[in-house]
Structure 1
Amino acid sequence: MAGTKMASQVPVIVFSEECMKPGTSSWAEACKVMVQALQDHGCFIVDHPNAPLGLHDSVFSVTEDLFDLPAETKIKNTNYKRPLGVVGTTPGSPLIEALTIDGAEKLQECEKFTSLMWPSGNDHFCKAVHDYGKFIAELEKVVFKMVCENYGVEKCYDPYIDLISYLLRFLKYKKPEGVEASVNPTEHTDKSFLSYLHQNNIRGLEVRTKDGEWFTFEPSASNFMVMAGDACAAWSNGRIKACDHRVAVTEESQVRYSLGAFSYVTGMIETPKEFIDEAHPQQCKPFNHIDLLSHHDCSDNLIKSSCGVLAN
């Protein structure tokens, strides 16, 4: 299959220059594979061989610098949207720490976060995370354009891109010696529209495939796991599946760093009429995505409880 290859049951789409050109056969094929994967598993893997040189090494290097800061500095990171700033430990689970930049694709937001962590400045950190935020934003443009084209809802593309922003979450996992449990957190879906997970050389992310099996995402500098969130599932009227996933840290005393970029709409999300027919009655009323992000309910019925399901 040109431009694609299979990794277990989760498709890998190689974002070659040819694949990223609308109108080419590689583009059309990638659209088809991507949407089928989102419907089956809620996720797919992007192998991006043309990612900027050094992006992976640079952003993970500054991530380590960030977590090396004193606790009294890191605790200053707060955010009213979920996921929130610093995360502590839970019994029987690996040590987890997390910090978040809201709007990592915007230079001013990266500068604001950098000055909070390093009052005297840290241009290297600021540039690395801003470059990463811009890269994810460009990646989402391609992914969403492919999704819209495949479903025949191209009209949704521009309004969505105009309203999209990104939460960039830095994560540090460590499984202490002698701790038996290895999975944290329990399986869940994200409240984002789309999520982009990138990790260092330590395994951790697992996604549940359509047959109920757990698939382990292998670390690679060019690989990004793209997962549909609850908001995307609602937008597509349930045609796209929100991806069930978890993190399993099994190597004692090994530190796993991960980056999660979560896209969200700064406004209302409404299901396009093209997704609604007799076989697919409208599931959800229009809802405010930021309200969904701020919702504390983590149950499977989050969308139902936050935006209301229409009667069939």
Structure 2
Amino acid sequence: MRMGSENQTQIPFVDFCKDPLALEQGTEGWTLLCQEVRDACERFGCFQVASDKIPSHLREDMFGAIKLLFDLPVETKKKNFSPKPYYGYVGGSDVVPLYESLGVEDAPRLDQARAFTELMWPDGNPSFCQTLNSMSSKVLELDLMIRKMIFDSFGAGKCYDSHVGDTSSIFRVMKYNPPVGNESAIGLVAHTDKNFITILCLDEVQGLEVQSKDGDWIHVPSSRGSLIVIVGESFKAWSNGRLHPVKHRVMLSEEKERFSYGLFSIPKEGGTIEVPKELVDNEHPLLFRPFNFMDFLTFIYSDMNVLAKENALEIYAGV
């Protein structure tokens, strides 16, 4: 494997601001933009996106809010517990000691955002609740539009509404402490996401890298305005192997704390991932049988040997 952090290859950049008419379904611009998004997801498994759907002041408010959240006592943050893998609080890991994260299921629902806020601040923090709910709602709007583009690009638009009805989301906030002395600079080990797509908002501290299909590690520049879209294993399965779940990691080199937050689209509890018949033909025989997403997660995280395998999806759901 080549260590390509110095590789000049860049991930694709897709501009949703350039032509507002291209965001209207049924237009020629929409068709071209759908193809551009699909191409990025097939070739790289990720892309940077420019979108004016998320106001800059809201992004800044969210970064300020999560810093206050991470300043809370560990005992308080551990109240964000979930029996489902990586749905709740993660911290103090021997594998990634610099990483800390909390998750909020269905944060775009005001009652869920309020429940999380009241768990962290029993005396109330309405400002945090409003920022969390507003930010997660805006990112969800972007997520839904990108998924619609992908469905339309495959000619599976009629499956979109039922797909959305069967999906939910987790909004995760993340903190990386700077390495000290001889401490490892690994903020987050190389992995693929297991959900449909992830949309990340990054601060200005560098660290995110994605792996090309050739094995090179590509540095993804960070800025307060960065929005990164990452394909997960679930979309690979849904697309019958066409979309590429990109492996990515966080490598820390600056003497600063690093913050990010993102929305992860997932099947609802009990949801099944199934390849649409439109994506199966003589050139693309069926690769994956229908499977329950939560059972897939349980399979992966119950066996660390499976987690380390790059073909866990094929092992679990391959035809």
- TM-score, normalised relative to structure 2: 0.89
Question: Which runs of structure 2 are paired with 1:102-251 in the superposition (5 Å)?
Answer: 102-251=105-254
Assess if the C-alpha contact under 8 Å between 1:189 and 1:229 holds in 2: yes
Distance change in 2, residues 1:157/1:247 (3 Å) = same
Assess if the C-alpha contact under 8 Å between 1:93 and 1:182 holds in 2: no
Per the TM alignment, residue 283 of structure 1 is displaced from its structure 2 partner at its CA by: 1.2
Question: Which runs of structure 2 are paired with 1:267-278 in the superposition (5 Å)?
Answer: 267-278=271-282
**2:297 aligned partner:** 293
Assess if the C-alpha contact under 8 Å between 1:93 and 1:175 holds in 2: no
Per the TM alignment, residue 285 of structure 1 is displaced from its structure 2 partner at its CA by: 1.0
User: Does the alignment pair 1:256 with 2:265?
Assistant: no
**2:22 aligned partner:** 19
Assess if the C-alpha contact under 8 Å between 1:82 and 1:293 holds in 2: yes
- Cα distance in 2 between the residues matched to 1:106 and 1:60: 20
Per the TM alignment, residue 74 of structure 1 is displaced from its structure 2 partner at its CA by: 0.7
Per the TM alignment, residue 192 of structure 1 is displaced from its structure 2 partner at its CA by: 0.6
Per the TM alignment, residue 85 of structure 1 is displaced from its structure 2 partner at its CA by: 2.8
Secondary structure of the structure 2 residue equivalent to 1:247: strand
Secondary structure of the structure 1 residue equivalent to 2:191: coil
- TM-score, normalised relative to structure 1: 0.91
- Could you tell me which amino acid in structure 1 is paired with residue 234 of structure 2? A
Assess if the C-alpha contact under 8 Å between 1:192 and 1:293 holds in 2: no
Secondary structure of the structure 2 residue equivalent to 1:184: strand
- Cα distance in 1 between the residues matched to 2:244 and 2:91: 30
Q: Can you give the 5+ residue segments of structure 2 that lack an aligned partner in the other structure?
A: 1-7
Show CA shifts across 1:87-133 (max 9, x none). Answer: 33455855111111111121111111111000011111111111111
User: Does the alignment pair 1:303 with 2:307?
Assistant: no
**2:287 aligned partner:** 283
Per the TM alignment, residue 8 of structure 1 is displaced from its structure 2 partner at its CA by: 4.1
- Could you tell me which amino acid in structure 2 is paired with residue 302 of structure 1? A
- Cα distance in 1 between the residues matched to 2:95 and 2:314: 31
Show CA shifts across 1:36-86 (max 9, x none). Answer: 111111111111134224111011110001001111111111112231433
Assess if the C-alpha contact under 8 Å between 2:175 and 2:258 holds in 1: yes
Show CA shifts across 1:235-293 (max 9, x none). Answer: 111011111100111112x0001113111011111101122122322111111123233
- Cα distance in 2 between the residues matched to 1:220 and 1:83: 26
Show CA shifts across 1:113-164 (max 9, x none). Answer: 1110000111111111111111121111210111111111111110111122
> Aligned pair count?
302
Of 136-145 and 17-26, deviating more is 17-26
- Could you tell me which amino acid in structure 1 is paired with residue 266 of structure 2? Y
Assess if the C-alpha contact under 8 Å between 1:264 and 1:290 holds in 2: no
- Cα distance in 1 between the residues matched to 2:151 and 2:277: 13
**2:75 aligned partner:** 72
Show CA shifts across 1:21-50 (max 9, x none). Answer: 223333222211111111111111111134
Of 44-53 and 146-155, deviating more is 44-53
Show CA shifts across 1:198-220 (max 9, x none). Answer: 11111121111233322222223
Assess if the C-alpha contact under 8 Å between 2:172 and 2:263 holds in 1: yes
Q: Can you give the 5+ residue segments of structure 1 that lack an aligned partner in the other structure?
A: 1-6
- Could you tell me which amino acid in structure 2 is paired with residue 191 of structure 1? K
